[in-house]
């Protein structure tokens, strides 16, 4: 059985940034409350927002929560929450529970980087293998949602958001800017391996893990994500991107001053009448605010900017209200923004622009004409065929497919020497042989299928995703005091399955894994 609750998971994700007990109406013993209050007297705790359904969230209906005790009482009523903590929560209409104020500038701290996959048709192992390939740590939490999955990197040191001013008197949120930059780079990197929603608000609302049954991955023994190492990874990623983009043609200056509104990306955006506002898209509000900032930076009078952008909005197939446009322009001209956000501009260009640009510290780049895709090598083709065949004949419940090397060669129409070389090169295929001579048995699997098998085994055993991997393995493989790293997890689980099927640790498998 699990030795933690879903509230423990939530405390883990929020870095204990809420009060433990309710300030009023707590059911906890008085002595515990007094002791706790004394212990956290000098600590400033924050607030999060929650909502009971997606429909309510769209209407900004929800409430503010400041304690884990309240969360534990209300979890079964909730569908969405903000895992990143705000300084305080606000209501537009307290009686009808209409919330407001959940803007990133009002965050107290950023606890997690969350990513949304809006489809169930995804290989969960790809999340972890993709992170390994990118040099990123594994996510700490993987949550299944009605439409897909969400995964979270829980930071060991949160980004604490503070308002400062630069030498010109402009308001800055340096920690927020740094966090946005890291998060943006992670999104760009992960999107090469996974169908992550690159336009999702990473510091807003996510599905709440209201029950342990929705957790697809959580290991209480895993360390939180090292924030400093993540920042270093982000800087290295940017350097690699700049080196990769050396073949691109520099067409624009990165510094947005003076003539920002004459940049081609601005004209591309302002001439697009298809801009919409819906889930998964960087929509009309963000676009009008960014265009208004471009006008502001270019020294255009607010009234002129309003006329231009009001006309732009009127030309949209799905325009905003006149009031919403006025609010966005007023906000842009308030002086509280440092300038056009590079990140927001890139997301808008990617979503609504008519040209493809990449921005770097040295400038805006337009892609040079791409070369034709190279044909995959024979080994890559053979590997893909082999993976497809194995995964068609295996399941998470039965992750091994029994077939001799010679027989597999015949079934795929592949020379035996080619099959052996493909196995040698592959980092995905798994082949295990137990026994000797005529009594030998060869089984096949893939790392992806093994990972699915591990998840299925855990869920079957506990329905809570909290079983120790040590409990899954025979004594001869692992002493109970030694907890295996996830690096060796698949290997150990294979041994467990084979041991159960063979009945003797003496038939220890000979192996070939790339």
CA of residue 399 relative to chain centroid, distance = 27
Q: Which two tokens stand for residue 473?
A: 């393995």
Residue 243 falls inside a structural domain: no
CB distance 199 to 351 below 8 Å: yes
Distances (CA, A) of 291 to 132, 244, 320, 323, 326: 38, 29, 15, 17, 13
Q: Verify that 395 and 358 share a domain, yes or no.
A: no
Q: Verify that 48 and 175 share a domain, yes or no.
A: yes
Q: Verify that 154 and 24 share a domain, yes or no.
A: yes
Q: Verify that 504 and 468 share a domain, yes or no.
A: yes
Q: What pLDDT score does 236 carry? A: 92
Residue 371 falls inside a structural domain: no
Q: What pLDDT score does 203 carry? A: 92
- Using the predicted structure, report yes or no on whether residue 377 has a pLDDT greater than 60: no
Q: Which two tokens stand for residue 154?
A: 């829980």
Q: What pLDDT score does 332 carry? A: 83
Distances (CA, A) of 7 to 11, 16, 152: 6, 11, 16
**Predicted structure pTM score:** 0.60
Q: Verify that 405 and 487 share a domain, yes or no.
A: yes
Confidence label for 459 from pLDDT (cuts 50, 70 and 90): low
Which residue pairs, CB below 8 angstroms and at least 24 apart, start in 303-309? 305/329, 305/332, 305/333, 308/270
Q: What pLDDT score does 502 carry? A: 46
pLDDT digits (tens, 9 = 90+) for 116-156: 998 888 878 788 888 888 899 999 999 999 999 999 999 99
Better pLDDT: 434 or 99: 99
Tokens 């000797």 — which residue?
436
pLDDT digits (tens, 9 = 90+) for 397-441: 888 888 888 888 888 888 888 888 888 888 788 888 877 777 778
CA atoms in the 13 A half-sphere facing the CB of 300: 23
Strand, coil or helix: 397: coil
How many percent of the chain have pLDDT more than 70? 73
Q: Verify that 325 and 390 share a domain, yes or no.
A: no
Rounded (5°) CA angle 372-352-172? 115
CB distance 458 to 487 below 8 Å: no
Q: What pLDDT score does 349 carry? A: 65
Boundary residue ending a domain (307, 341, 366): 366
pLDDT digits (tens, 9 = 90+) for 247-294: 444 333 333 444 666 666 777 777 766 666 544 445 677 788 888 888
Q: Verify that 215 and 346 share a domain, yes or no.
A: no
Q: Verify that 215 and 284 share a domain, yes or no.
A: no
* Residues of the domain holding 177: 6-234
Boundary residue ending a domain (209, 234, 259): 234
DSSP calls for 459-504? HHHHSSS---GGGGS-TTT--TT-PPPGGGHHHHHHHHHHHHHH--
Number of separate domains in the chain: 3
- Using the predicted structure, report yes or no on whether residue 183 has a pLDDT greater than 90: yes
Boundary residue ending a domain (210, 234, 258): 234
Q: What pLDDT score does 358 carry? A: 44
Strand, coil or helix: 156: strand
List b or e across 130-143, with b for residues whose CB sees 16 or more CB atoms inside 10 angstroms.
bbeeeebbbbbbbb
Q: Verify that 87 and 110 share a domain, yes or no.
A: yes
């Amino acid at each position: 059985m699990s030795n933690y609750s879903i509230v423990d998971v939530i405390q883990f994700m929020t870095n204990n940034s809420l009060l433990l007990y309710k300030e009023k109406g707590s059911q906890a013993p008085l002595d515990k409350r007094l002791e706790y209050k004394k212990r956290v007297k000098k600590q400033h705790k924050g607030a999060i927002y929650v909502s009971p359904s997606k429909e309510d969230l769209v209407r900004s209906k929800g409430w503010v929560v400041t304690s884990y005790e309240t969360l534990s009482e209300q979890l079964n009523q909730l569908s969405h929450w903000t895992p990143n903590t705000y300084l305080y929560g606000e209501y537009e209409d307290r009686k009808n529970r209409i919330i407001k104020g959940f803007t990133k500038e009002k965050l107290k701290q950023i606890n997690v980087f969350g990513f949304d996959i809006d489809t169930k048709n995804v290989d969960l192992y790809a999340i972890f293998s993709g992170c390994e390939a990118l040099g990123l740590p594994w996510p700490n939490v993987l949550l299944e949602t009605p439409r897909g999955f969400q995964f979270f990197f829980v930071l060991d040191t949160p980004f604490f958001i503070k308002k400062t001013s630069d030498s010109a008197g402009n308001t800055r949120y340096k920690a927020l800017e740094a966090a946005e930059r890291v998060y943006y780079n992670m999104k760009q990197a992960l999107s090469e391996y996974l169908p992550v929603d690159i336009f999702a608000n990473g510091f807003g609302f996510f599905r709440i893990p209201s029950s342990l049954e929705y957790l697809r991955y959580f290991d209480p023994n895993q360390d939180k994500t090292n924030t400093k190492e993540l920042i270093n990874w982000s800087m290295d990623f940017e350097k690699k991107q700049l080196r990769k983009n050396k073949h691109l043609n520099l067409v624009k200056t990165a510094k947005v001053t003076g003539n920002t509104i004459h940049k081609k990306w601005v004209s591309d955006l302002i001439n697009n009448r298809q801009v919409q506002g819906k889930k998964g898209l960087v929509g009309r509000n963000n676009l009008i605010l960014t265009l208004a900032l471009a006008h502001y930076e270019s020294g255009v009078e607010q009234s002129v900017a309003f006329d231009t952008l009001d006309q732009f909005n009127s030309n949209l197939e799905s325009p905003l209200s006149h009031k919403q446009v006025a609010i966005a322009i007023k906000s842009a001209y308030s002086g509280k923004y440092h300038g056009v956000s590079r990140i927001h501009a890139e997301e808008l260009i990617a979503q609504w622009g008519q040209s493809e640009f990449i921005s770097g510290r040295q400038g805006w780049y337009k892609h040079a004409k791409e070369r034709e895709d190279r044909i995959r090598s024979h080994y890559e083709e053979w590997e893909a065929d082999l993976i497809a065949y194995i995964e068609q004949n295996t399941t998470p419940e039965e992750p091994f497919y029994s077939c001799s090397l010679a027989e597999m060669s015949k079934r795929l129409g592949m020379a035996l020497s080619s099959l052996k070389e493909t196995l040698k090169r592959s980092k995905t295929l798994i082949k295990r042989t137990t026994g000797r001579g005529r009594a030998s048995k060869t089984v096949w699997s893939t790392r992806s299928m093994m990972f699915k098998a591990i998840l299925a085994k855990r869920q079957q055993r506990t329905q809570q995703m909290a079983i120790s991997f040590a409990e899954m393995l025979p004594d001869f493989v692992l002493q109970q005091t030694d907890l295996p790293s996830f690096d060796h997890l698949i290997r150990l689980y294979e041994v467990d399955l084979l041991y159960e099927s063979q009945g003797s640790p003496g038939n220890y498998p000979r192996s070939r894994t790339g």
